[in-house]
Amino acid sequence: MKIRDILDNKRTVSFEFFPPREAEAVDGVVDVIKGLQRFNPDFVSVTYGAGGGTRAYTEEITLRLRRETSLEVMAHLTCVAQSRGEVHGVLERLNAAGVGNVIALRGDRPADASLTTPGADEFAHATELITHIRDNFDFGIAAACYPEGHTESTDADADLQYVRMKQDLGADFLITQLFYDNRHFYDLLERADKAGINLPIVPGVLPILSTAQIRRFTQLCGATIPAELDAQLERYAEDNRAVREIGVEYATRQVQDLWANGVPGVHFYVLNRAYSITQILETLNLDGHRGD
């Protein structure tokens, strides 16, 4: 089923996971995902390592979920540092396995100097990947957008013009990068509307697990941590349990506010840990069915 068809009928709750570094850990990740089925996510997704390494496990987990569960699975696919043929091969395998949806991404260019500019045989941007998918397959297509702008972008409006291009080329919904101040998301909605973007924009929410980790993540993706939250994280920097509780409480309030403001769904960055998402969903009991 196309996720866009689900979004047209209800507000979605979805979970994102990442592949492990070692083959022996694949079963553990699959078990966590299966354990979270009781929350009836509308779809789950598995990230794709732009730097290589774990890509085979992304495919393995995605295909196993497809075979072993009734979950709707969306595959992440990045195109940097791979030939068009390699990317096409992944799409063919996903298609053959009956995966119905792909989130089309560029990915971050690996630090290796020889890989820092796109090769002639590469899709340079998500826009090119979207075109390739639309021209050759029948997947539902998601794409990324950034409430606080993309790190390489110097002009927020130009950034949105590329998002508009993703829409025009055939993306059928958007998922945002993480953010910790909902005003960034609401501001994005206003700017997107002015840029003629009318796709559903699903906010991505990451319940914080550790101070060092979230500082690293936000620095990498260009998101900011509000001063008050950051002060709390600093205070408990050496106590991951306390930070996890702060993360649960913060994400619960964040999602409550987003839901009350009519978002089309919420996409949780689960980081392969069941605890926080369980606490949040048990508290919120989100009901995505539309009233009429």
Ligand X SMILES: Cc1cc2nc3c(=O)[nH]c(=O)nc-3n(C[C@H](O)[C@H](O)[C@H](O)COP(=O)(O)OP(=O)(O)OC[C@H]3O[C@@H](n4cnc5c(N)ncnc54)[C@H](O)[C@@H]3O)c2cc1C
Least separation in angstroms between residue 170's CB and ligand X is 14
Helix 156-169 vs helix 126-136: crossing angle, to nearest 10:
10
In the window 174-193, what residues touch ligand X (CB under 6 A)? Answer: 175, 177
- Window of 2-10, 65-73, 145-153, 249-257 that interacts with ligand X by CB under 6 A: 145-153
- Kindly state the smallest distance separating residue 127's Cβ from ligand X, in Å: 4
Structure-derived torsion over alpha carbons of residues 65, 66, 72, 76, reported in degrees to the nearest 10 = 80
From 16, 59, 128, 148, the catalytic residue: 16
**Nearest approach, Cβ of residue 75 and ligand X (Å):** 9
Q: How far apart are CA 7 and CA 42, in angstroms?
A: 9
Q: Is 266:286 a contact under the CB 8 Å cutoff?
A: yes
| 204 sits near ligand X (criterion: CB under 6 A) | yes
Annotated active-site residue 16? The verdict is yes
Which residue in 56, 54, 122, 58 sits closest to 87, CA to CA? 122
Identified binder of ligand X from the candidate list 100, 107, 140, 147, rule CB under 6 A = 107
By the rule CB under 6 A, 152 interacts with ligand X: yes
Q: Considering only CA atoms, which of 101, 126, 120, 160 is closest in space to residue 50?
A: 126
Query: Quick one: 75 or 208, whose CB is closer to ligand X?
Result: 75
DSSP 10: B
Element (H, E) at 14: strand 12-17
Please select the residue that binds ligand X; options are 90, 105, 209, 263, rule is CB under 6 A. 105
**Residue 244 in the binding site for ligand X (CB under 6 A):** no
Q: Which of 12, 14, 54, 78 binds ligand X (CB under 6 A)?
A: 78
Residues 6+ apart with CB under 8 A from 194: none
C-beta of 8 vs 152, nearer to ligand X: 152
Quote the least distance from Cβ 155 to ligand X, whole Å: 8
Q: Please say which residue, 204 or 265, places its beta carbon nearer to ligand X.
A: 204
99 near ligand X (CB under 6 A): no
Binding ligand X (rule: CB under 6 A), the pick from 144, 169, 263, 281 is 144
DSSP labels, 108-127: PPPSSGGGSS--TTS--SHH
Residues 112, 180 contacting (CB under 8 angstroms): no
Q: Rounded to an integer, what is the distance from CA 96 to the centroid of its chain?
A: 23
| Residue selected from 127, 211, 218, 276 as contacting ligand X according to rule CB under 6 A | 127
Q: Which residues bind ligand X (CB under 6 A)?
A: 47-50, 76, 78, 103, 105-108, 125-127, 144, 150, 152-153, 159, 162, 175, 177, 204
